């Protein structure tokens, strides 16, 4: 077929509406949402993937969160408020996924131990131990306040204090205190669950 | 000895996130204040241990592909844009069609083959030269599908299992067309509607 007339994708729809421009509030809202999406999508997916342990699931959650954001134009006036809302909702959704995945992960780990017992290929032990450590970290993160887990994950990804403050909706000067308390809480819970030192 | 620094400031100092002036002041203070130095050492050790554990969680591969912005536009806006895109595509198809095909023919059943003998003597004589002139190709036109009133033109390669037929008016000329819209909200086929 020589002519392909394809459907209009949402991004094109957005571009068309932006190109049709004018300075209506709706257009400004679309442009604002587009900027937020492109700035934070990858970071939100990365954080959720580390939390839930599943890249595909992280992308689904992120898309859902951004859809919710698109339906809340009232948030558009304050960029910091929007960013804080975005990460808070994303982390809460990630926590839900983390909890729902916990049972499945335990079954998979048990199956992994069983397969290791049957046949021990090279490197399987290291993989199993690494997965076990990751599961422990996720368990402890899941027991923290979502805000603390969010802070630890984003800091571990290398975000600066200014960016952390924006994602949490707090002042940059408060990040150090919040971070120190989150780390102390993580260490305390980790020791309580798994004993020994970190 | 200067006044002691808060836990948050000591933690920010570990990450070198204090302003440069404060970094120097705090460093000078740590040289003289044993409690602050001890507290700083504890915070730094705890931060390193926790971040090391959290860093065990694998970072996903860099997210280089960003999907289309998931804006849920209203149905009116969606259809308006879809109709606009279809109108533009059809206008392009009309412009690029071979000249020998009369545009009016798209709205009517297919004309008889040009090679057919002229039917009767009583055919209006003034029509035939016009037809003959159109037989001579003026330029090589690309082979494009012809939209006809009786057939749908598929807009993609997906089989159409179910859908809704919607009649729309395209372009400034308000050319009537039927569009089959699938359950996913996208147009899957189109046909022009003849004036019968």
Q: What pLDDT does residue A18 have?
A: 42
Using alpha carbons, select from B83, B150, B27, B61 the residue that is nearest to residue A46: B61
CB proximity under 8 Å: B 138-167 to A = 142-145, 154-156
Is the pLDDT at B135 greater than 90, yes or no? no
pLDDT band at A13 (very low <50, low <70, confident <90, very high): very low
Residue B106 and residue B146 in contact, taking contact as beta carbons nearer than 8 Å: yes
User: In this predicted complex, what is the ipTM?
Assistant: 0.73
Domain count, chain B: 2
DSSP codes of every residue in A64-118: HHHHHHHT-GGGGG-HHHHHHHHHHHHHHHHHHHHHHHHHHHHHHHHHHHHHHHH
Domain count, chain A: 1
Mutate to test the interface with B, among A5, A12, A19, A58 (most CBs of B within 10 A): A5
User: Rounded to whole angstroms, how far apart are CA atoms B19 and B13?
Assistant: 9
Q: Is B12 on the interface with A (CB under 8 A)?
A: yes
Contact B73 A3 (CB under 8 A): no
Based on the fold, state whether residues B38 and B112 are members of the same structural domain.
no
pLDDT, one tens digit per residue, over A39-98 is: 899 999 999 999 888 888 999 999 999 998 888 877 766 788 889 999 999 999 998 888
Q: What pLDDT does residue A172 have?
A: 92
Query: What sign results for the dihedral spanned by CA atoms A129, A130, A131, A134?
Result: positive
Residue A2 lies in a domain: no
Based on the fold, state whether residues B87 and B132 are members of the same structural domain.
yes
Based on the fold, state whether residues B169 and B109 are members of the same structural domain.
yes
pLDDT band at A142 (very low <50, low <70, confident <90, very high): very high
Q: What pLDDT does residue A2 have?
A: 39
Eight-class DSSP state of B122: T
Expressed in percent and rounded to 5, the helix, strand and coil fractions of chain A are 80, 0, 20
Based on the fold, state whether residues B150 and B92 are members of the same structural domain.
yes
Q: Give me the phi and psi of B59, to 5 degrees please.
A: -70, 135
The DSSP element (H or E) to which A43 belongs, if any, is helix A25-52
Residue B114 lies in a domain: yes
Supply the range of the domain harboring residue B22.
7-54
Residue A11 lies in a domain: no
Expressed in percent and rounded to 5, the helix, strand and coil fractions of chain B are 40, 10, 50
If one counts every other C-beta atom within 10 angstroms of the C-beta of residue A196, the result is 6
Contact B144 A137 (CB under 8 A): no
pLDDT, one tens digit per residue, over B170-194 is: 887 788 888 888 888 888 888 888 7
Supply the range of the domain harboring residue A67.
23-194
């Amino acid at each position: 077929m020589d002519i392909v007339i394809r459907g209009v994708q949402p991004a094109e729809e957005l571009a068309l509406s932006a190109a049709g421009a004018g300075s209506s509030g709706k257009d400004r809202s679309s442009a604002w949402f587009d900027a937020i999406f492109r700035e934070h999508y990858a970071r939100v997916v990365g954080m959720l993937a580390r939390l839930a342990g599943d890249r595909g699931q992280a992308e689904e959650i992120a898309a859902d969160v951004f859809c919710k954001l698109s339906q809340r134009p009232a948030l558009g006036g304050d960029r910091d408020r929007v960013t804080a809302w975005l990460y808070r909702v994303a982390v809460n959704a990630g926590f839900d996924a983390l909890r729902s995945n916990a049972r499945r992960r335990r079954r998979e780990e048990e199956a992994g131990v069983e397969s290791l017992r049957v046949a021990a290929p090279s490197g399987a032990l290291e993989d199993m131990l690494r997965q076990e450590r990751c599961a422990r970290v996720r368990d402890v993160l899941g027991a923290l306040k979502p805000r603390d887990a969010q802070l630890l994950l984003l800091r571990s990804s290398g975000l600066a204090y200014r960016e952390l403050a924006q994602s949490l909706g707090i002042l940059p000067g408060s990040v150090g205190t919040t971070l120190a308390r989150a780390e102390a809480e993580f260490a305390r819970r980790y020791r309580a669950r798994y004993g020994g030192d970190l | 000895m200067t006044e002691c620094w808060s836990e948050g400031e000591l933690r920010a100092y570990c990450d070198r996130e204090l302003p440069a002036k404060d970094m120097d002041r705090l460093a000078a203070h740590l040289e003289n204040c044993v409690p602050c130095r001890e507290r700083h050492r504890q915070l730094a050790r705890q931060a390193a241990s926790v971040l090391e554990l959290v860093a065990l969680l694998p970072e996903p591969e860099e997210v280089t592909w960003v999907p289309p912005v998931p804006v849920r536009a209203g149905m009116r806006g969606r259809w308006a844009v879809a109709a606009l895109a279809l109108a533009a595509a059809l206008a392009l198809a009309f412009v690029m069609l071979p000249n020998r095909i009369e545009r009016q023919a798209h709205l009517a059943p297919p004309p008889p083959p040009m090679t057919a003998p002229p039917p009767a003597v009583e055919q209006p004589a003034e029509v035939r030269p016009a037809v003959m002139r159109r037989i001579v190709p003026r330029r090589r036109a690309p082979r494009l599908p012809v939209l006809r009133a009786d057939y749908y033109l598929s807009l993609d390669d997906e089989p159409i299992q179910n859908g809704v037929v919607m009649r729309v008016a395209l372009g400034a000329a308000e050319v009537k067309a039927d569009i089959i819209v699938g359950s996913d909200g996208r147009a899957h086929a189109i046909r022009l509607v003849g004036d019968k």
